[in-house]
Amino acid sequence: MNKRFLWLLVVLVCLALILYALYPLLVGRDTAQHEGATAPAMTPDFKTYARFQKLREEMVTESIEARGVDDPAVLDAMRSVPRHAFVLDEYLDYAYDDHPLPIGYGQTISQPYIVAWMTELLELQPGERVLEIGSGSGYQAAVLAALGYVEVYSIEIVPELAQRAQHQLTELGYKVKVKQGDGYYGWPDYAPFDAIIVTAAPDHLPAPLVEQLRDGGCLVIPIGPPGGYQSLWKFVKTADDLSAYNMGGVAFVPFTGEGIQQAPEQYIPLP
């Protein structure tokens, strides 16, 4: 009887140790199922994972919802995408602060509120195709992909950033097609797009992007002089007309590339 009891005790202790070792993986699996198929893999350090998850929730509640973003799909995407996975190691402690962070090559990862706001302005519907100009770190594209119901395409002019963004998006399970090239000319191979989002500021509205926008489509873009504040514009294309809405002041890195410098004949004046 005593031997049986001892063997039972040993078995129970072993099971307890196994469950303790597997606990972080089990929690990560439950979280991934709750957040959708595009959720990233579990962080090896469970305490670090839990800390980032808490910071991410606080970011959404205090910096995004509190400022008026209320689309449930957008909020869920912002809660699920690990912004810390898209920042440089030296800025990891600031990953969930509501401001841009450098990512190298003179570029930045946009502040979370702006990412959520611009995503909401697109008013994306299931099955639509969206083009991002300026992949940067890949964070904005990840948020779009995390919606779970749109096709996402992204163009980045800096080769190193394009490669890094595609690698990170693929590693985390986000389905995004990334192309290295001059975003001024869009991506004709996959046009027309239901929505286009631009994350760098040209000094005028690029005509090729308007041409690649589907009738009824939406284009969200900051426009203004480099090195200063710009205005965030929302354009809606209807037949041969383009309705323009000035959403307010923003600050983005300048749009770069030959296209923006050599296309005055393609200039579309703002209202």
**Exposure of 33 by Cβ count < 10 A (0-12 exposed, 13-18 middle, 19+ buried)?**
exposed
**Exposure of 83 by Cβ count < 10 A (0-12 exposed, 13-18 middle, 19+ buried)?**
buried
Closest CA to 217 of 116, 125, 115, 134: 125
Strands (E) in the chain, as ranges, are 101-104, 107-109, 129-133, 151-156, 176-180, 193-198, 205-206, 213-223, 230-238, 241-250, 267-268
| Residues 142/86, Cβ–Cβ less than 8 Å | yes
Active site residue 110: yes
Choose the catalytic residue: 63, 80, 110, 135: 110
Closest CA to 43 of 77, 84, 75, 79: 84
**CB under 8 Å to 19, separation ≥6 — which residues?**
none
Q: Which residues are catalytic?
A: 110
